[in-house]
């Protein structure tokens, strides 16, 4: 049963941002993809807000 819990993000929140990660590891690739997808979605939201005239 899926519970909508983001284990990967929760796990990485406990590590310092300066920690070197193995770029070839599957979990690191998934995190990178997820981070990029979030950034893309945030840009898309800003475009929709601008088109609808919604201001922050």
Q: What is the mean pLDDT of each run of 10 residues along the chain (56 residues)?
A: 67 78 86 92 94 87
pLDDT at 14: 80
How distant, in Å, are the alpha carbons of 7, 20, 25, 48, 50 from that of 2? Answer: 12, 30, 24, 30, 34
pLDDT at 3: 62
| Structural domain spans, the chain | 7-52
């Amino acid at each position: 049963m899926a519970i909508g819990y983001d284990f990967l993000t929760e796990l990485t929140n406990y590590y310092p941002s300066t920690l070197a990660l193995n770029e070839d590891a599957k979990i690191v690739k998934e995190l990178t993809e997820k981070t990029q997808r979030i950034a893309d979605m945030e840009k898309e939201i800003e475009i929709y807000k601008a088109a609808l005239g919604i201001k922050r």
